[in-house]
Chain A
Amino acid sequence: MPISFLTPLFLAGLIALAVPIVIHLTDRERRDVVRFPSLMFVRRIPHKTVRRQRIRHWLVFAMRAAAVALLAVAFARPLLEGAPGGAAMGGAARHVVILLDRSLSMGYGDRWARAVGAAREVIDGLGDDDRGMLVAFAEQAEALTPPDADAVVLRATLDGVRPSDGGTRFGPAVQMAGQILDASDRQGREVVLISDFQRTGWNADEVVRLSPGISLEPVDVGGGGGNRAVLGVEVDHELRDGVERVAVAGRVANLGDRAVGDVRVELVLDGQVAATQAVTLAARTTATVAFPAHPVTRTVRAMVRLAPDSLPADDAFHFLAGPQRTVPVLLVEHPSAGAAETVYLRRALEVGDDPPFRVDRVPAGRLAPEPLQGLPAVIVNDAPLGDAAGRALRAFVEGGGRVLLVFGRRTVATRPLRALVPAALGPAVDRLADRGGTMSQLDYDHPALELFRAPRTGDFTTARFFRYRRVTPDTLATVLARFDDGAPALLEWEIGAGRVLLLTTGLDTEWNDLALQPVFVPLVHRLVRYLRDDDDRTAVLTVGHVLDLAPVADSVAGAGGELVVETPAGAREVADPRGAGRLFAVRERGFYVVRPLGGGVRDGVTVPVNVDPRESDLAAVDADEVAGAAAAGAAGERRAVAGSLALSTEERERRQALWWYLVVGVLLLFLGESVIANRLSRGSSRPPLSQGERAR
C-alpha cells in the first residue's frame, strides 16, 4: 500500500537520528560526580578518560532512534493511498442527511432564505450515485423525503418547506439522522445541520452521539439584530357602573442588545384595535403595558400586538377576553337543615371570584333530574338520598356530571347512596377522647390538592377532626387524603363518564373545625373547580402543546360524536374526542376552533395558541459546540460537504490521522526507554559517597 506525506519536508528531521548516536558515543558520562579520596593513582594512568568508539545498550539506543524517526515521520503527516477513508471519494457513493431547522426563529430576517440556499447547495453537490434525505425539524423532526431520495426529489421537497411556529430542539433531529445513516451501507455518511443554532434549542442532556464514520457539518445561518416580542397578558375583571370590564396588561420584551423607543403596542378586541400604547424598552428588558379597561358583554378574540419587526411571528399574543362566567353550584341539603348549618360552605363559595360561584340550595327529597341538567357541579351535604334522588344523581354522574358527597351526622347508608359509593360504609369514628384527629396524608399530585403542595400554601394539620365516617373503599376508589389513623378522609372514583368525590367528615363545625381554618376556603374552591373541570378549555396553549378534546366535547353543545378542529390557517381536521383523536397537537399560533361535526363556529370552543416565548430569544450557541458534541462519538469527524466530491490530500490525511498513532508510538517508546534506562542505571554500581553526603 503506497504511502505519501502531506509535509515531506519534515522528513529532514530524520537527521536527528544522529542525536542518539552521538549521545551513545560521546555523552555517556553520568551526571553524578563520584567523590573519591584521592585521584593520585587515577592521574598516573595514561588513558583516555572517555571512550568514544563503541555503542553500549543497543536496545535503549534502538528505542531512542526509533522514537526520533517516528516523530519525524509523524510531523511529515503520512497517509496511505489505498486505505479505506484515504481513497479519493470521487467514485464513492455518499449518503447525506440534511437537517433543516424550521423553527419560528428561522423566520427572522433572511435566515430562512439563506438556510434554503445552503440546503440547495448541498443538494447540488450530490453526485448521480449519491442519495440524500431532507429532514425538517423544530421541536420534533419530520422526514420530508425517503431516506434514499435523489437530488431531484430533494429539490422539489425543499421548495415546499416553510418555517413553522414551533420551538427548537436539536436532539430529535440528530437522532433521526443518526438512525438513518446507521442503516446506510454507503461509504460516505454525512449529516448537514442547517440552523440558526438558537441557544434555547441546545440541551446538552439530550445530545445524541453519532456513530463513528458519520461526519457532521454545521451550517450556521444565524446572525442579525435584536427582537421584540409579546410574552403574555394578564386579564383582570372589574365591575364599574354595573358593567363588567376587562383590564388587559401585556408583557412585552426587548431581547436585543440595543434600547428601542416609541414601540407601539396595540390591544385588539374582536379584530378591532381597542387601544394603543407607546413604550420605550431598554436592552434585554421586559415591560408591562396596561390598557384601559373595556366593557365586554361576550367572549371575544383578543390580541396584544407590537409593530412588526424582523420576526413578526412573536409580535402578537392571542387570548380570549370576555365576562367571567358565574359557576352554578347545586347544594343538596337535608330537608330539615337550616341556613346556619351550611353557612360556612355557602359563604366560602360566595366569596369566590375566580370564577364566581352561584349557590342554589335544594332539599334532598326534591332532587330531580331536570335541575341537574347542565350543572357543572353538585354538592350533597350531609343529606339522605332517597331512591328518586339517588337515581337522579346516578344518571347525572354517568352522563358526565361531577358530585361532591359530604358525610355528616345525618348521612344514612341508604341503598341509593351505596349505589353511588363503591365502599363499605362504617359507623362514625369518635376522636373526642384524643382531642380529635388530623388529616395527615394528602395526595398533592391530585389536581384538587396540588395547590397546597408548596410550603405555606395551606396547613391541614391545624384542623381537628372529632368525628368522621369510617369508609373502606374497594379498588375502584382512589384515596386522596387520610386521617392520622389511616381512615380515608377524601376519596374519588368514576362512574360512567362522571366523577364522584367523597369527604367522610362534614363541612360545618359539628364534626370538625376545618371550616375555621385558613385552608377551608381554598379547599372548597379547589374541590368545586375540580368538579367543574373546565380550567383547560379556555386556557392559552403554546405551539407544540396538546389540546385534550375530551373535556371540550363535554362543553360543546350537541357534541355526541366527532369534532372538527379548525386551525388558524383555516385547515379543518375531524377528530374523535373519545378515541384516538382525543389529543390534538397544536402547531400554529392563532385561534383554534373546536366545534361539533356539522355545527357552526358559534357552537364551538375557541382556543388561543401562542408561540413559545423562549423562541423569541435569538441568542445562539456556538455551532461547532453542537456539532462537536453530536460528532463526539464519531471522533470529532467533520468535513466540508458542499463542493467537490473528491477529497483533498489534506482531507484524506486528516481522516486517516496516522500521525496521531505515530505520536502515541513515540510516547510508548520513550516510556519504555525510560524504564529500561532506569534499570540499567540501577544495575551499575552506585557511586560511593562521603560521610557528609550520606548525612545529607
Chain B
Amino acid sequence: MTTATASRFLDPAVLARIDNLELLAKTVVDGFISGLHRSAYLGFSIDFAEHRAYMPGDDIRRIDWRVYGRTDRYYVKEFEADTNANFSVLLDVSASMDYVGGGAVTKLDYARYLAACLTYFSRRQRDRVGIVTFAQDIVDLVPPSAKHLDIVLHTLDRARAGAAGRLETALPKVAETLGRRSILVLISDCYEEPDAILHGVSLLRHRGHDVILFHVLDPAELEFPFDAPTHFEDLESGDRIPVVPEELRDEYRALVRQHVATLSQRLREQRIDYVQLDTGRPLDRALFEYLSLRQRMNRVP
C-alpha cells in the first residue's frame, strides 16, 4: 500500500462512510503503520529492550532459544512496546461538539474516529484501554482493561452530543475514577477559559497521568467565513445575538488564535501535550503526535 493510498484512509470524509468503528480504526491504523514503513517510528513496538527470566504463564513463543542454547536457561525477550500501560480516552460530548461547518464531519465524529484509532492502536501495543465520555458530568465510563476494546468502540459508537460541557467540573470527577497511572487522551473543543481548562487537566497530570489534549475545531470556527448578517445561536446555551460577520471576523480569528496559543503555552508549561486539530484535515497529524508521545514516554526513564 502506497503512502498516498494509506493517507486516503485518514481523510475524515472517507472515514465518514465507514459505519463500523472497529473496521475504521483497523483500516486507519494498519494503513498508517504501513505508510510509516521507512520512517523513524518503525519498530518501536518490536524493538528489543532486554531479556528476563521465563516465568510460568509467559508465552513460550517468546523464549529466546539462542540464549537457551548458550546458557541452558529460559529467557524471554521484552520489547519496548510491550508496556502494558493503561490507556483512556477522555471524550468531550458536550453540545458544542455537534457542529459541522467547513469540515466534512462534525467535531464529535472526528473525535470518535480519532479515539477509535488511538484505542485500537494502543490495543495493538497490548495496552489496557478504556474510555470516559463527559459533558458537564461523566456520561459513560469504561475502565481500562485488556478486554475492553470492543466496549470502548461500542461506547464511542453510541456517543451523542448532549448537554452543555464544562471541563473544569468534569475533569476532577474523571480524575477520581482513574486509579492507576494512565495515558490519557483528552479530546475536546475547549470552549472554556484557559485557566479553567488548565485547572482540570493539571489535576490529571498531578495524579501521574500522561495527558495529551487534542483540541478539535471545525474550520468554520477558525476562519469564521460567514458573510450575511444574521443571528447566531449558541449550541449549548441557546443564546442568540445578531452578528455582522464581516465586521468582527478579524477580531474573532485573533481571539481564537490567542486562545489556542494560550492553551498551547500554558499546557506545555505543565508538561501536557497539546495538539490543535482541524476537522477538515486528515487524522495523520493526530496519530503522529500520539506516536511521538508514546515514543517519548518509552524512552524517557
Say whether B100 faces chain A, with CB atoms less than 8 Å apart.
yes
A72-89 contact mask (Cβ, 8 Å, vs B): 1 or 0? 000000000000000000
Is there an interface contact between A34 and B98, defined as CB atoms closer than 8 Å?
no
B88-116 contact mask (Cβ, 8 Å, vs A): 1 or 0? 00000000111111100011110000000
- Residues of chain B lying within 8 A (CB to CB) of residue A373: none
Distance A243 CA – B73 CA, assembled complex (angstroms)? 160
Is there an interface contact between B96 and A29, defined as CB atoms closer than 8 Å?
no
Say whether A48 faces chain B, with CB atoms less than 8 Å apart.
yes
Is there an interface contact between A37 and B99, defined as CB atoms closer than 8 Å?
yes
CB nearest to A51 among chain B residues:
B244
Closest chain A CB from B161 CB (angstroms): 8
- Residues of chain A lying within 8 A (CB to CB) of residue B179: none
Which of A689, A691, A694: most chain B Cβ within 10 A?
A691
Say whether A298 faces chain B, with CB atoms less than 8 Å apart.
no
Is there an interface contact between B233 and A38, defined as CB atoms closer than 8 Å?
no
Is there an interface contact between B96 and A38, defined as CB atoms closer than 8 Å?
yes
Is there an interface contact between A33 and B101, defined as CB atoms closer than 8 Å?
no
| Contact pick for B234, options A31, A39, A45, A692, CB 8 Å | A39
Distance A691 CA – B111 CA, assembled complex (angstroms)? 14
Is there an interface contact between B247 and A690, defined as CB atoms closer than 8 Å?
no
- Residues of chain A lying within 8 A (CB to CB) of residue B259: 41
- Residues of chain B lying within 8 A (CB to CB) of residue A38: 96, 189, 191, 234-236
B247-270 contact mask (Cβ, 8 Å, vs A): 1 or 0? 110011001100100000000000
Is there an interface contact between A43 and B241, defined as CB atoms closer than 8 Å?
yes
Is there an interface contact between B229 and A30, defined as CB atoms closer than 8 Å?
yes
Q: How many residues of A contact B (CB 8 A)?
A: 33
Is there an interface contact between B235 and A687, defined as CB atoms closer than 8 Å?
no
Which of A31, A37, A39: most chain B Cβ within 10 A?
A37
Is there an interface contact between B235 and A34, defined as CB atoms closer than 8 Å?
no
Say whether B231 faces chain A, with CB atoms less than 8 Å apart.
yes
Which of B239, B244, B259: most chain A Cβ within 10 A?
B244
Is there an interface contact between A34 and B241, defined as CB atoms closer than 8 Å?
no
Chain A stretch 300-359: residues in CB contact (< 8 A) with chain B: none
B221-243 contact mask (Cβ, 8 Å, vs A): 1 or 0? 10001111111111111011111
Given A47-B251, A684-B227, A690-B99, also A37-B107 (CB < 8 A): yes
Distance A564 CA – B106 CA, assembled complex (angstroms)? 108
Say whether B278 faces chain A, with CB atoms less than 8 Å apart.
no
CB nearest to A29 among chain B residues:
B229
Closest chain B CB from A389 CB (angstroms): 110
Is there an interface contact between B191 and A40, defined as CB atoms closer than 8 Å?
yes
Say whether A42 faces chain B, with CB atoms less than 8 Å apart.
yes
Closest chain A CB from B156 CB (angstroms): 16
A41-75 contact mask (Cβ, 8 Å, vs B): 1 or 0? 11111011111000000000000000000000000
Say whether A446 faces chain B, with CB atoms less than 8 Å apart.
no
- Residues of chain B lying within 8 A (CB to CB) of residue A91: none
CB nearest to A31 among chain B residues:
B230
Distance A690 CA – B105 CA, assembled complex (angstroms)? 10
Given A34-B231, A688-B220, A689-B100, also A45-B239 (CB < 8 A): no
Is there an interface contact between A36 and B252, defined as CB atoms closer than 8 Å?
no
| Contact pick for A37, options B191, B226, B241, B252, CB 8 Å | B191
Is there an interface contact between A33 and B230, defined as CB atoms closer than 8 Å?
yes
| Contact pick for B228, options A37, A41, A684, CB 8 Å | A684
Given A29-B229, A33-B231, also A691-B240 (CB < 8 A): no
Which of A29, A41, A45, A51: most chain B Cβ within 10 A?
A41
Say whether B210 faces chain A, with CB atoms less than 8 Å apart.
no
CB nearest to B161 among chain A residues:
A691
Say whether A35 faces chain B, with CB atoms less than 8 Å apart.
yes
| Contact pick for A35, options B191, B228, B233, CB 8 Å | B233
Say whether A28 faces chain B, with CB atoms less than 8 Å apart.
yes
Say whether A32 faces chain B, with CB atoms less than 8 Å apart.
yes
Distance A234 CA – B296 CA, assembled complex (angstroms)? 127
- Residues of chain A lying within 8 A (CB to CB) of residue B168: none
- Residues of chain B lying within 8 A (CB to CB) of residue A50: 229, 242, 244
- Residues of chain A lying within 8 A (CB to CB) of residue B235: 35-38, 690
Is there an interface contact between B248 and A688, defined as CB atoms closer than 8 Å?
no
Say whether B22 faces chain A, with CB atoms less than 8 Å apart.
no
Closest chain B CB from A6 CB (angstroms): 43
| Contact pick for B100, options A28, A45, A694, CB 8 Å | A694
Distance A43 CA – B191 CA, assembled complex (angstroms)? 13
Closest chain A CB from B23 CB (angstroms): 21
Is there an interface contact between A691 and B100, defined as CB atoms closer than 8 Å?
yes
Distance A51 CA – B252 CA, assembled complex (angstroms)? 17
Given A34-B226, A687-B230, also A42-B244 (CB < 8 A): no
Can you list 5 A-B pairs, Cβ within 8 angstroms, ordered by A?
A37-B221, A38-B191, A43-B241, A684-B227, A688-B100
The 10 closest A-B pairs by CB, nearest first: A688-B101, A30-B230, A37-B96, A38-B191, A684-B227, A49-B242, A41-B255, A37-B99, A684-B228, A39-B234
Residues of A within 8 A of B (CB): 28-45, 47-51, 681, 684-685, 687-692, 694
Residues of B within 8 A of A (CB): 96-102, 106-109, 161, 189, 191, 218, 220-221, 225-237, 239-244, 247-248, 251-252, 255-256, 259
Besides the known contacts A34-B243, A37-B189, A688-B218, 9 further A-B residue pairs in the complex with CB atoms under 8 A apart: A28-B228, A30-B228, A36-B99, A37-B236, A38-B96, A47-B251, A681-B228, A688-B99, A691-B99
